[in-house]
Amino acid sequence: MAAKLAVLISGRGTNLQSIIDAVAKEDFPAEITLVISNRPKAAGLDRAAKAGIPQQVIDHKDFKTREDFDAALDETLRMAEVDYVCLAGFMRLLTPDFVNDWRGRLINIHPSLLPAFRGLHVQERTIDAGVKVAGCSVHFVSAEVDAGPIIGQAAIPVLPGENVESLTARILEQEHRLYPACIKLVVEGKARISGALVQFDSSVVTEGALLNPPALAD
């Protein structure tokens, strides 16, 4: 039976869209049961509607404390009998209790090669740091912000003259490939949380390197 995913969003939902597109494929081992937004006007809600996926707004402004908000979130997810919770541009900090309760079933995507550049304004900080390789990470969520056992990463070279817009777009393109692929690994039991790390089925291990500038590869 297909695993049940909830996708949590706060904004435009392009990563949600990549998951919608992935689950539509016949061999994908999961379905999206519910899309939840903490913002009533999140554009991603239209994507859920178009795909005919049930959606719910749980507006954080309706709750006095983070604990109250997370309790409502938890109840909604349990009522929907969700197996995995995928954060896709969900810009709310979750309480340690919530994170612990969903440990191993709570996944996030972040537009950097973690543990570098956690938090906000990631692409700007990436360019300012002058790093030559950027990318994105999918990880199980732990109580710290943008941290937890890493499931997968995609790396791209930072190009000469790169600006925030171009880098954001090029990282996002990889996010859309990486997130569904990582969800598949987790749902199939090929990537499992093991303490602070993720343990992989031997079938998914590969070799290879990205060198940038490319001349370094000669």
Restricted to residues 134-153, the positions that interact with ligand GAR (CB under 6 A) are 146
Reported residue count of the chain is 218
The answer to whether residue 15 forms part of the interface with ligand GAR (CB under 6 A) is: yes
CA–CA dist 96, 106 (Å, integer): 12
Cβ within 8 Å of residue 201, ≥6 positions away: 189, 190, 191
Q: Is the dihedral of CA 23, 29, 34, 37 positive or negative?
A: negative
Quick check: 129 and 210 in contact, CB under 8 A?
A: no
The answer to whether residue 12 forms part of the interface with ligand GAR (CB under 6 A) is: yes
User: Is 121 assigned a catalytic role?
Assistant: no
CA–CA dist 33, 54 (Å, integer): 7
Q: Which of 111, 135, 148, 152 binds ligand GAR (CB under 6 A)?
A: 111
Q: Which of 23, 47, 151, 175 binds ligand GAR (CB under 6 A)?
A: 175
Strands 191-194 and 197-200, sheet pairing = antiparallel
Restricted to residues 64-103, the positions that interact with ligand GAR (CB under 6 A) are 88-89
Shortest Å distance, C-beta 197 to ligand GAR: 20
Q: Which of 39, 105, 110, 139 binds ligand GAR (CB under 6 A)?
A: 110
The answer to whether residue 11 forms part of the interface with ligand GAR (CB under 6 A) is: yes
Shortest Å distance, C-beta 218 to ligand GAR: 33
Cβ proximity to ligand GAR, 39 vs 184, nearer residue: 39
- Residue 143 is given by DSSP the state S
201: number of Cβ within 10 Å: 12
190: number of Cβ within 10 Å: 16
User: Among 10-18, 58-66, 69-77, 206-214, which window interacts with ligand GAR (CB under 6 A)?
Assistant: 10-18
Q: Which residues bind ligand GAR (CB under 6 A)?
A: 9, 11-15, 44, 88-89, 109-111, 146, 172, 175
**Mind telling me the catalytic residues?**
110
